[in-house]
Amino acid sequence: MSDAQQKDHLPRNADEHIARLRHQLTQNSECGTTHYNLGVALVGKQEYMEAEKVLHEAIEHSPTLAEAYVLLGGICLQRGDLEGCYRFNQRATKARAGFAEGYANMAFVLLQLVDGKDFKEDEEKVDKAIKHLKKAIIHNKNFVQAYATLGTAYFMKGLHAEGVKANQEAVQIQPEFPVAHNNLAVGFLELKDFPKAIYHCDKARELGYEVAPQLLEELAPHRKG
Sign of the dihedral defined by the CA atoms of residues 156, 160, 162, 163, in that order = positive
Amino acid at 196: K
d(CA 51, CA 78): 13
Distance of CA 116 to the CA centre of its chain: 23
- Whether 210 is in a domain gets the answer yes
- Whether 68 is in a domain gets the answer no
- Whether 162 is in a domain gets the answer yes
- Whether 174 is in a domain gets the answer yes
- Whether 58 is in a domain gets the answer no
Confidence band of 225 (pLDDT split at 50, 70, 90):
low
d(CA 73, CA 77): 6
Range of the domain at 198: 154-225
Instruction: Give residue 3's pLDDT.
Output: 43
What value does the mean pLDDT of the chain take? 93
- Whether 75 is in a domain gets the answer no
pTM of the model: 0.87
pLDDT digits (tens, 9 = 90+) for 9-65: 545 678 898 999 899 898 988 999 999 999 999 999 999 999 999 999 999 999 999
pLDDT digits (tens, 9 = 90+) for 138-173: 999 999 999 999 999 999 999 999 999 999 999 999
Q: List, in sequence order, the alpha helices (H) in 45-158.
A: 48-61, 66-78, 82-95, 100-112, 119-139, 144-156
Tally of structural domains, the chain: 1
Average pLDDT rounded to a whole number, residues 83-106: 96
For residue 148, count CB atoms less than 10 angstroms from its CB and return exposed for 0-12, middle for 13-18, buried for 19 or more: buried
- Whether 49 is in a domain gets the answer no
Q: Which candidate, 161, 137, 160, places its Cα nearest to that of 147?
A: 137
pLDDT digits (tens, 9 = 90+) for 105-122: 999 999 999 998 889 999
d(CA 204, CA 171): 11
- Whether 63 is in a domain gets the answer no
DSSP H or E run through 37: helix 32-44
Give the list of residues 6+ apart from residue 122 with CB closer than 8 angstroms, or none: 114, 115, 116
The CATH number of whichever domain residue 212 belongs to comes to: 1.25.40.10
